[in-house]
Amino acid sequence: VAVDDLSGGFRRNLPQGAEARDIKFIVGDLKDAKFVSKLFEDEKFDVVFHIAAYAAEGLSHFIRSYNYRNNLVASTNLITQSVRTKTVKRFVFTSSIAVYGSGRTPMSEDLAPMPEDPYGISKFAVEMDLKAAHEMFGLEYVIFRPHNVYG
């Protein structure tokens, strides 16, 4: 199952015949808690790959609310339903190197996060929410922090 709100893309970009190959595509907004709840009830996910992205390089300070709604609200809706349904065994989250801040090279995983902009702050907040969901409810998770692989 793939979910996208198509705010930055088009259905025509899906591979031809994708649905015939058992890839179910659903148009929806992960910021909508009711939509996410119904999605989890209908689909019974065992793994969630949260790899959503949007292209807004350098705009983070100017679209603050958008960053928090798009990254934090959408992600916590997914985490909440992952915990609630008790079917999700692992949550895979695409964070960002923006959690490290700037001017800290070479970067490595042992650097302490020090985000400087709303994008990095929102991504790091999701990481912390996943940690809390693991400690409180046992939700297993994986976080990866790519540079700018896609989006």
Task: In whole angstroms, give the CA distance from residue 98 to residue 117.
Answer: 8
Other CB atoms within a 10 A radius of the CB of residue 41 amount to 12
Q: From the candidates 68, 100, 119, 141, which is the catalytic residue?
A: 119
Selection from 111, 109, 114, 86 nearest residue 98 by Cα: 114
Selection from 77, 74, 61, 75 nearest residue 116 by Cα: 61
Active site residue 150: no
List, in sequence order, every beta strand (DSSP E) within 29-119: 47-50, 90-94
Q: Residue 53 burial by CB count (10 A; 0-12/13-18/19+): exposed, middle or buried?
A: middle
| Catalytic residue set | 119
